[in-house]
Structure formats: C-alpha cells, structure tokens
Structure 1
Amino acid sequence: MQNTYFFTGFPGFIASRLIASLVHKDVTARFELLVQPYRVEMAQAAVNELCQAEGADPERFVLIAGNITETGLAIGEDYLDELEDRVTHVFHLAAVYDLAVPQDIAYRVNVQGTEQVCQFVRRLHNLRRFVYFSTAYVSGDRTGRILETELSVGQQFKNHYEATKYEAELRVQELRSDLPVTIIRPGIVMGDSKTGETAKFDGPYFVMRFLDAFAKFPLPYVGASEARINLVPIDYIVEATVYLAHADEAADGVFHLTDPDPYRAREVYERICQELIGKKPTYTLPSALIGSALAIGAFRRFVKVEKETIVYFSCQAEYDATEAQRVLQSAGIKCPDFHSYIEKAVAFYKLHRDDPDKMILVR
C-alpha cells in the first residue's frame, strides 16, 4: 500500500524540513497537508518551492483547508471518509510554540487541537505510525536526570507553553496501548548544523538579539549558574524523526531528541559572544536582575527578548536520551556537537538579523 503522510504544522519550518526529507525517502508517497484557511496561499507557495528544490511532482501534495481546534479538524465529512482509508502516517506538529503565549490560546491550540488530532487518528484504518511532537520541557520545573519513560511526577511549569504541551502529551500517551505512537521530545531547536538556516530568531537567538543591543558596551555574563542548556540543530531533529517514524522498534516509544553531552549555558553564551561580537563577557550580572529588567515591557521590546527565555539558562534538568541513542545508533544518527555548528548559526543570524519575517514579536 502506498504511504500517505498527513501533516499538521505546515508550512512551519520543522514540518517543511520533514516533508522535504520524506519526499526523497519515500518516492511514491502522497502528502495531505492540513493548513489553516488564511495560510493556504502561503502553503501553496511553500509546496511550489519545495517541488522545485527537491524535483518532486506537485501532484503528490494536497492542501486541506482546516483547523485542528474544530471537530473533524474542520474537514468535510466526505473527505474525512477518504482519508480514513488512505492515511498511513500522521505527523502532528501544529502548536503554539511561543513561551509568552496566553493561557487560553495555548490551551485551545495545544491541548484541544491535539485532542481533535487524536480523534482523527483513531478513525484511520491503515495507520502505521502517529508521530507527535512534544518537547523535552514537559518536565516543567523538574531538576536532575529526566528519563524518556517519565512524564507525570507532580512537576509545575514555567509558562503556559510548557503546561499545555504537557497536557497535550498526556492525551497522546493514552493512545499508546491501542495504536503505533512515536512521541518526539526535542530540546531547544537551533538552525541547520551545515548551513545555519532557521525560520525564526527565537530561543538561543534571543541571546544574539540581546547582545546586538549592548554590543558597544562591556558584556556581562547572566548569572553564575553551572546549569547546562540543551541545544539541538534542526537537521538532527529531522533525520532522527524520519528514521523513528519508520523503525519498528520506535512504534511505541518516547524519545528525547536532545544533546547527550550538553554544554554549560555560561559556555554557550560566551561562545555566542565571541562569534557575534568578537569579545568575551568581563563581569557577571545576577540572572534575577536581568529577569526583573525583562519584566519591564519597554526594556524587553528594546532588546527584543521575551522575559520567559531567561529561566532556560539556569534550568537544572538533565535529559537522558538513552532510548533515542539506542535506536538511532543502528542508523549512525548522532546529535552534532554545539561547537561544530554555532559559527554557522551566528553567521546566518548576522546575514538575516534585519529580516522581519524571522523576528518574534515581543510584547
């Protein structure tokens, strides 16, 4: 039977990269892409660009105007009936990824949207895999070693993004006893390790935006924590996910796609300073002071940094990726070392730092 891949989250960066990879891996596959109605034109342009870049037949792609938060994903019942027999793989990536997202929006999209996708998945007659994109940070405020087999241990959460992604993963976990489910928990996603390409300057790129604002002054370290920060390039996420989506031993698994040997946040910050500004920090400011400054709207809009970002540089969690490493080892898939790609990431940022499409609106 021909594979049909059903995606939410297109034309987002990770979904687009996954589809580009799958186009080559599975040359006869069909792609059904659920897109919000107002994004259909943008999605069509993305499909056209992908087909041109990858040499793929446009007939392999179908754009479906819909909405994950509505019953039946807002897809017509007749077409749903067709998808029931046709879809073999579901990749659910649609979510609100903003750390500053309000609770009501986060809950509607991340939790209720995932509930609707789960109901859709239950309808499929020929499902071979349901791949759900969670996050390593469903761990919330936990510290110490965190296993892939763990989820609910009484943790609290640093923001509504984490809380709702946790709630969403609970819904997906309920399917594991009946369906072939693969849950992906990425660390903090960086750009491509070979080209530096990324879609948005969020996460660690907020550090670069902060440094841009104070490049002419002596640079501080932010806090004296020995915490490590878990960064992973997008190409590792894509290569690992495509493999896990087809590996039989990953059909009922949860995988930390994290760096097994992460660096201290202080070292990461120092390397970014050197690459971007050409100098090292010379003194230390308490992270609480920076956090208080970012709580002031005028200041965070000036530096273009969300206040929720700061806590991730003192996060004491250690993400055990034993199961992911075990399964991926047979395919020779490894997470690239941070120092091997940060130069490219910073170079890409320098080239595109004024591109409004890559900016995150900071309120």
Structure 2
Amino acid sequence: MVKLFITGATGFLGSELIPIIAGECESLYLLVRKKSLLRAKQKYADFSNVKFVVGDLTNPDLIEGEYNELLGEVDSILHMGAYYDLEGSYKDCFIQNIEGTMNLLFFASLCPNLKSLHYISTVAISGESSGEFLEDDFDHREEITNEYSKTKWEAERLIRSWKSEAKVRIYRPGIIIGNSKTGDFEKVDGPYYFWKTLSNVKMLSPLISKLPFLPMPINPHATLPIISVDNAARLIKNGLLLDRKEKLMTFHLVEHMCPNVLDLVNDSLKEFSIDANIKLMDNHPLIEKTFKILGLPKEIIHYMITPVEYSVTNSLKHLGLNEQRGFDNYKDIILKKAKKRFGVSK
C-alpha cells in the first residue's frame, strides 16, 4: 500500500480527497503549519493512518526538526499546496507557488524510495490560448498575463524538468466549485463571484428589468471550465492509484460537459429572479472598470470571451471521467446553495 506525503491537505480539495484516499494508503503524512496543527488533527481524527508533519512550503527545509526516518518511508508525494488568488501580487504567488515547489522538489529528491510525484497544476496555465488546448500542451509562456497563472506555469515547468526516476503525474483542475451532492463550497471563485454580485444587485432587479438590454462581454461559444470538488477528488484518487509505465502524464480535470457561459448567465439570472435581456459585446476597458466596481475580478473576463476546449482524453481513458456527466446534472444544487450562502431567500 502507498505511503503518501501530501501538501495542501487541509484545503478545500484536500478535505474531499483525504477521506476517500486514506483507505488506500498504508500511511498518509500531511504537511501542516504549526498554527494549523490542532485544526488538522480535529479534521482527520477518524483516520488512524494519518500522521502530521509540522512544516511550511516556504521553508527551504520544508519540515521542522529531524525527518530522516520520514524520507525513507515516503514512496509517493502529492503536492497540492499553493497560493491561489486571481488578483494576488507576483511576490505572494511566487513565494508559495514557485519557491514552495522548489522546496518540495528538494525534499522529494531526498526520498530514496520515491516512486511517483503528483502535482496539482491548473487549466489557468493555458493563459490567453483559444481553441483546443491539449493535455500535453505547455510551451506558451508569453500568452499568460495573470500573476497567479504565471507562477503556476513556472511551477509546472519545474515539475516537468525535475530529474528523477520517479514517475510524474500532473493534474490541471478547472475552476473547482462546490460539492455536487450538497452544494457546499469554501471560497468565492469563478461563477461564485457572479452569483455574489447578483445577490448584491437583486434589490435593483425592478430597475434592471426596465433596461432595454444588459451588456456583457460574452462569446456565445465560450464555456466555463469547471469541476465539482468531489469529482476532482475522485479523479485525483484514481490518478494516485493508477499503475502506468509512462514517465510523465498530464490530466485536465474539468467536467466532460462544461456549461456554456451565456447559458450559465441566463440560468443564474433566472435563479436569482432577475429579469434582464443580455446583449453580447466584445471586451472593452470600461468593462474592466465596471467589473471592479461590482467586485468581479477582471481575470474572469477571459473565460467569458475566449472559447477554449480543454481536451480530457487522458482523464476519460485513465481516471474514469464520466462523459455522460456535466454541470447540468447538479447545477440546481450548486445555485441554490450559492443563493443561501449569499443571503438570497427566494
């Protein structure tokens, strides 16, 4: 059985993954900051094979104290720890995403029995690409303008160029949304920015309904690359247990049937009882200013105006991605939970 070392285990994705992977592992070593240790122990108190390692990704030594015995134990590593903020500064993103990955790779190089390294990247490394983006696509650094995406691209480059006998598996999740069964979510991200804004402007609904149209920067062919947190966790679990001889494999973790942006906007307006006639338009500097006023990060405009199809060939073939399952299967659960979270009663 696997002896797995994990970073980022107490985050949203980790909280879904640990309960379903614990039974497949002999030992799980979770890297946690000292200030988060008590919370982590409480979260995973029911799992006897979970062990806690105090440390910090930003520390060159990674782990506090002596850890030679741990090095000989670990045979797989899952690196999920990262700084995620679409509007974050390059400095903050660099420290966590690039330096953190460098420190993790140094630790990995000291593990004599390491068989596999699994890294959680993001589809955001595709930058301003349009059209089909393959799982093996990578060399497009000049097209990335977002600081978070830049540092995740650099971190993936470090993972790809790492010299080791261990197999490398890279997972690129789309925008991770709530649990498909409960709707529970942790952070305002992706479509949740829009839903939060709708909850704030709902009181203006009578005024909006009188407008001849509501201009929005949307390409009618654009889709939103999302995946529910429970589905992402399930696919990563399958990747951790996958026995393949390839040295490097990359997987896009997005629903096989991602929602069309325009359809999602119209469905959301209907759910929030806002009557509006959407008028499609190209991006414009005034749009970014308007988004800022509304509390919407300008970085999400790319997803609204650029049609990108993320190939999921490897995920379908090797991870068990369900080609019959899409956002439509659970959108009502997600929308209703978002409304409740943002204080919309009807």
Q: TM-score with structure 1 length normalisation?
A: 0.85
Residue 58 of structure 2 contacts residue 96 of structure 2 at CA under 8 Å; is this kept in 1? yes
Change (3 A) 1:84 1:6: same
Query: Which of 135, 149, 152 is matched with 1:148 structurally?
Result: 135
The percentage of aligned residue pairs carrying the same residue is: 26
Residue 6 of structure 1 contacts residue 32 of structure 1 at CA under 8 Å; is this kept in 2? yes
Residue 175 of structure 2 contacts residue 189 of structure 2 at CA under 8 Å; is this kept in 1? no
Residue 260 of structure 1 contacts residue 319 of structure 1 at CA under 8 Å; is this kept in 2? no
Change (3 A) 1:121 1:292: same
Aligned partner letter, 2:7: T
Change (3 A) 1:317 1:213: same
Residue 360 of structure 1 aligns with which residue?
Answer: none
Cα distance in 2, alignment partners of residues 86 and 335 from structure 1: 40
Q: TM-score with structure 2 length normalisation?
A: 0.89
Change (3 A) 1:335 1:157: farther
Query: Which of 245, 264, 267 is matched with 2:263 structurally?
Result: 267
Residue 233 of structure 1 contacts residue 336 of structure 1 at CA under 8 Å; is this kept in 2? no
Cα distance in 2, alignment partners of residues 106 and 224 from structure 1: 28
Cα distance in 2, alignment partners of residues 207 and 20 from structure 1: 31
Residue 193 of structure 1 aligns with which residue?
Answer: 180
**Residue 309 in 1 paired to residue 315 in 2?**
no
**Residue 240 in 1 paired to residue 229 in 2?**
no
Give the C-alpha shift of residue 337 in structure 1. Answer: 1.0
- SS of equivalent residue, structure 2 residue 4: strand
Give the C-alpha shift of residue 272 in structure 1. Answer: 1.9
Residue-by-residue CA offset, 1:295-322 (whole Å, 9 max, x unaligned):
4xxx2xxx44333333322233221111
Cα distance in 2, alignment partners of residues 96 and 69 from structure 1: 11
Give the C-alpha shift of residue 284 in structure 1. Answer: 2.5
Residue 22 of structure 2 contacts residue 50 of structure 2 at CA under 8 Å; is this kept in 1? no
Query: Which of 245, 248, 253 is matched with 1:252 structurally?
Result: 248
- SS of equivalent residue, structure 1 residue 256: strand
- SS of equivalent residue, structure 2 residue 142: coil
Give the C-alpha shift of residue 176 in structure 1. Answer: 6.8
Residue-by-residue CA offset, 1:106-125 (whole Å, 9 max, x unaligned):
01110010011111111112
Query: Which of 326, 329, 335 is matched with 2:317 structurally?
Result: 326
Residue 294 of structure 1 aligns with which residue?
Answer: 291
Give the C-alpha shift of residue 177 in structure 1. Answer: 6.0
Residue 19 of structure 1 aligns with which residue?
Answer: 18
Residue 57 of structure 2 aligns with which residue?
Answer: 68
Cα distance in 1, alignment partners of residues 324 and 34 from structure 2: 36
Residue 157 of structure 2 aligns with which residue?
Answer: 170
Alpha-carbon RMSD across the aligned residues, in angstroms, is 2.1
Residue 257 of structure 2 contacts residue 327 of structure 2 at CA under 8 Å; is this kept in 1? no
Aligned positions of 1:47-58 closer than 5 A? 47-48=44-45, 51=46, 56-57=47-48
Residue 216 of structure 2 aligns with which residue?
Answer: 222
Gaps of 5+ in 1: 355-363
Aligned partner letter, 1:246: L
Residue 136 of structure 1 aligns with which residue?
Answer: 123
- SS of equivalent residue, structure 2 residue 61: helix
Residue 284 of structure 1 aligns with which residue?
Answer: 279
- SS of equivalent residue, structure 1 residue 161: helix
Change (3 A) 1:109 1:335: farther
Give the C-alpha shift of residue 66 in structure 1. Answer: 0.9
Residue 358 of structure 1 aligns with which residue?
Answer: none
Residue-by-residue CA offset, 1:203-239 (whole Å, 9 max, x unaligned):
1100101111222322635224122211111111111
Aligned residues: 332
Give the C-alpha shift of residue 267 in structure 1. Answer: 1.0
Cα distance in 2, alignment partners of residues 221 and 251 from structure 1: 48
- SS of equivalent residue, structure 1 residue 195: coil
Residue 341 of structure 1 aligns with which residue?
Answer: 330
Residue 5 of structure 1 aligns with which residue?
Answer: 4
Cα distance in 1, alignment partners of residues 153 and 76 from structure 2: 23
Cα distance in 2, alignment partners of residues 232 and 175 from structure 1: 28
Gaps of 5+ in 2: none
- SS of equivalent residue, structure 1 residue 228: coil
Cα distance in 2, alignment partners of residues 176 and 337 from structure 1: 38
Residue 115 of structure 1 aligns with which residue?
Answer: 102
Give the C-alpha shift of residue 278 in structure 1. Answer: 2.8
Change (3 A) 1:290 1:42: farther
Residue 35 of structure 2 aligns with which residue?
Answer: 38
Between stretches 261-270 and 82-91, larger displacement belongs to 261-270
Residue 199 of structure 2 contacts residue 342 of structure 2 at CA under 8 Å; is this kept in 1? no
Between stretches 283-292 and 148-157, larger displacement belongs to 283-292
Cα distance in 2, alignment partners of residues 120 and 269 from structure 1: 45
